[in-house]
Amino acid sequence: MAPKKRVTMHDHAAEASLFKRRALFTFACVVMLLSILLINLYHLQILSYTDYETRSNDNRIRVVPVAPSRGLIYDRHGKLLAENQPFFSLELIPEKVKDVPDLLNQLSSLIPITAGEQEDFIESLKYHRRFKPITLKNRLTENQVALFSVNQHRFPGVSVVAGLKRHYPHNGLMTHALGYVGRINDRDKAALQRSEQWKNYAATNDIGKQGIEKFYENLLHGKPGHLEEEVNNRGRTIRTLKSVAPEPGQDIYLTLDLKLQQKAAELLKGRRGAVVAIDPRDGGILAMLSSPSYDPNLFVHGISSKAYNGLLNSRSRPLINRATQGQYAPASTVKPHLALLGLEDKAVTEKTRIWDPGFWQIPGVERKYRDWKRWGHGWVDINSALIHSCDTYFYDLAYKTGVDKIAQFMGPFGFGERTGIDIFEESAGIMPSKDWKRMRYNQPWYIGDTISVGIGQGYWTSTPLQLANAVAIMANKGRRFTPHLLKSIKDSTSRIDTPIDERAPIELNDPNNWNIVNKAMRDTAHKSRFKDAKYTAAMKTGTAQVISVAEDEKYDADAIEERFRDNALIIAYAPYENPTIALAVVLENAGWGGANAGPVARALLDEYMLRDTLEQLQ
């Protein structure tokens, strides 16, 4: 007997209710999702329209910065000292070249490209976008540019691109004053970012590294322009939409006199030393030479490691600006200032005389401090002591005044502190005192230290710039200016002289003391180096010991290694009646100041004072 089939009864009402609930849930989900979509569309199309439009334009429009041309530098007479010269480089767009190694081989037959340069270039392509140009060869000559232009059809994707680079037409003549520009490094970048100037260097690879180029970087650099280019989704340029021209840097005129600088370089050729000449009427630097020098153009395009190490390790130290960083014992060149102190302090008068037997002794001490003239000068007063540079007179003067009075009096003349000249490379030198020695060496000050300071030796050091500044103040009878190199600035419309920084003058209790000392300097010049000059000059020479000589030992230059021989110095100004130039000359290891530095000072003053006459004769 067959089993009975089970019959299932459907509850249509329940099924209908379940379907209805599921349909409502599905509909609600759809409505919710549509609402979310509509809200997002409202946010994108209405609320954030401006933001997304900007983003779209940023993807479509590329802003390309355009470098400004750097301001030019001239001397006081408008002669060019630093210019911008066009340079040519060879650039390649990788995607337009089928076989780069083969192309490089063919190019090398026209333009020298070494195997090492080819390898470096191929390696650099790995990190470069193929549609962007990349530099293949820098600093092409005009012949190379012409040769490539004739054969350019053979090299698709390769082109010559022109630009501007700094150039110094006088090579090493002005290096230590002008400085140079070089490629921006990480340190420069960090400094620019801190000063919020980085945006102005978006199109620039170079920045001032030293000297005027660095100090007046903000004036010389200018402001970049830009191009707005429409690009496709792969970054390729379609068209240029807008062009904003860059603002060139301002041209500047310096106080330097090119002809005087050239004369100084001619006179110091092959020697180590420095020349600084100042216009006492305003503090403008007429000449500032450090010898030996170097060609700053080497740094503009990137100096090789070998060449840089050669400069860095040279015993002649050409990288040092001797005019502002060289620290030398001032020797007898500061005797006029010490004499002025003696008169002001009433330690001596114009008529005070002392006996010079060729040496001086501290009372109660056996040691003898020798005069440069071993048999002495006999009776000397302040005038004859300066004319003959009598050491004994100034030993005695230093003993009477003391080192602290000397240090205090010399401060306003600029010794022991930076002058404030408008370049960063400057040393303060040393103006010693009791407190200075205690702080520096943790040692007491001895009276013998004072005696050495009395003739500009011992711990006392100064830069040639300080010496020139000090003699300018002496010539001005206390009127002081901050030494400076900038004379005027020229923008697109006019040339404007920069303000002169005149400092508070040095005032003496007896102003006639200026006349006493200056007259002695005039008599010194008249009886020696400038006795036949067509103008009236004033001067004081100095011979500075580099190494000490024992009390009973005689100095013999021929028996001493050259770098340990005496330094030759001179300070001078002219004309005596109304000074227009004051200068200091330091020659390292040259020996006697009058015999070696003297002719240099005479030739420089002749060049400056008699230029118009000499030019008429020519």
Q: Which residues are annotated as a binding site?
A: 356, 371, 377, 390
| Contacts of residue 480, Cβ cutoff 8 Å, sequence gap at least 6 | 283, 412, 473, 502, 503, 504, 505, 506
| Contacts of residue 466, Cβ cutoff 8 Å, sequence gap at least 6 | 414, 415, 419, 429
Q: Is 359 helix (H, G, I), strand (E, B) or coil?
A: strand
Look up residue 170 and give its amino acid. Answer: H
**Is 332 tagged catalytic?**
yes
HEC string for 156-170: CCEEEEEEEEEECCC
Beta strands in 40-107 (DSSP E): 61-66, 73-74, 80-92
Q: Which residues are annotated as a binding site for Zn(2+)?
A: 356, 371, 377, 390
Look up residue 36 and give its amino acid. Answer: I
Element (H, E) at 14: helix 12-42
346 CB neighbour count, 10 Å cutoff: 11
Give Cα 477 to chain centroid, integer Å: 31
Write down the residue that tokens 């019959």 correspond to: 7
Number of separate helices (H) and strands (E) present in the chain: 23, 23
CA-CA-CA-CA torsion sign (277, 283, 284, 290): positive
* DSSP string for residues in 190-244: HHHHHTT-GGGGTT--EEE-SHHHHHTHHHHH-B-EEEEEEE-TTS-EEEEEEEE
- What is the distance between the alpha carbons of residues 548 and 560, in angstroms, rounded to a whole number? 12
- What is the distance between the alpha carbons of residues 396 and 390, in angstroms, rounded to a whole number? 11
* Active-site pick, 290, 291, 293, 332: 332
Name the phi and psi angles at 532, rounded to 5.
-110, 15
Query: Cβ-count burial of 372 within 10 angstroms (0-12 exposed, 13-18 middle, 19+ buried)?
Result: middle
Tokens of 395: 């030993």
What residue spans of 43-128 are helical by DSSP H?
49-60, 100-107, 115-125
What residues are labeled active site? 332
